[in-house]
A = this chain, B = another copy of it.
C-alpha cells in the first residue's frame, strides 16, 4: 500500500530492504489499468524541427515532470491524416490529457474529442469555435508593438511585408500593423503593404519592390526574421544603410537576429513559457476536474531592440 499512514515503520523498512534486494520496480502499466490513470500526457505538434517548437516541448516536458507526468510526443507535419492517427494513438495509450496544435482544417477531430469529454488544451493556434481552452501568443499585439516602436521613433512612412496571407498568423500581424498605424493617425499606403511567404527570398523581393518605389518608406515592419534577412540584402544591394536610410523590425527573434549586422530589432515569443503554461493548465484540469478558469491564456511577445531601428530625425 502506497505510503498509507497506518503502516508501521518497522514493516516499511523490511519491505524496503526486499525491494532493494530484488531490484523491484512497480509496474506502472498495471497500476494504470486499475487506477484508470496513466500519468502521461500527449503532445501533438506540427513539426519539432521548426525552431518554434523545441522550446515549447521543453517547457511542456519540464513542467509535466515537475507535476509527475510524462509525455508522449507526435509530429504531424500538419498532415490531417497524421493528426488523426496521433489522436487515436493518444486514446489507445489512454493518456490523461492532450496538448495539441492542429491544422485549422481539422476541426472534426477536435469536435470528436469534445464529445468524448477528453481533457485537451490547444497551443499556438486555436481552432475557431472549439470549446477547448487555448494557450496562444498574441500576434496582433506583437505586430502592434513592433509598429508602435517605429512610430515612437518618429517614423511616419512605414511599410509592412506580410507572411503568406493564407495563414492566420500573417493576418494577425497585418492587423496589428494596421491598428498601430490607425491608432497614431498615420495613413498607410496600400502599395506599402507587400505580401511575402515567410521565406528569405520573398523578403528580398518584397523589399526590392518597396525600394524602387518613388516615395519609398523610411521604415518597415516585416512579419518574420527570415524575410528581414532577405530584406537586408535588398537594402545593401541598393547601396542603402540600416538604420540610417531605413529602419527595420522583424518578428521571431531567431538566432541570426542577434548575429547579423546590424543586429535586428525584433519580437521575441515566450515559447518556453507557452509550453509550461499549457502543461499547467492541462494538468490542473486533469487533477481537479472542476474548471477553475477556462479562459484562454494569451501570452505577450516582447520587443527586443537592437541596431536596425533608429529615430527618423536622429541623423
By a beta-carbon cutoff of 8 Å, the part of chain A in contact with chain B is 23, 25-30, 32-33, 38, 40, 47-49, 51, 53-55, 57-58, 61-62, 65, 70-75, 85, 88-89, 91-94, 116, 200, 229, 254-256, 259-260, 272
Contact = CB atoms under 8 A, between A and B. Distances in A.
A40 B72 CA distance: 9
Given A48-B54, A116-B23, A61 B33 contact: no
Contact of A58 (B40, B48, B72): B48
B70 A259 contact: no
A92 B27 contact: yes
A92 B62 contact: no
21 contacts: A23-B116, A25-B92, A27-B92, A27-B94, A28-B92, A28-B93, A29-B32, A29-B38, A29-B93, A33-B33, A40-B93, A48-B58, A49-B54, A61-B73, A65-B85, A71-B72, A71-B73, A72-B72, A73-B73, A200-B259, A256-B256
Contacts of A70: 72, 74, 89, 93
Given A254-B255, A255-B255, A256-B259, A33 B29 contact: yes
A33 B88 CA distance: 19
Contacts of A74: 61, 65, 70
A255 B256 CA distance: 8
A46 to B, nearest CB: 11
Contacts of A256: 255-256, 259
Given A25-B88, A28-B94, A29-B33, 13 more contacts: A29-B29, A48-B54, A54-B54, A57-B73, A61-B74, A71-B73, A72-B72, A72-B73, A200-B259, A229-B259, A256-B259, A259-B260, A260-B260
Contacts of A88: 25
Q: Which of A29, A94, A260 has the most CB of B within 10 A?
A: A29
Contact of A25 (B29, B53, B91): B91
Contacts of A32: 29
B29 A94 contact: yes
A254 B32 CA distance: 42
A75 B62 contact: yes
A51 to B, nearest CB: 8
A77 to B, nearest CB: 9
A30 B88 CA distance: 16
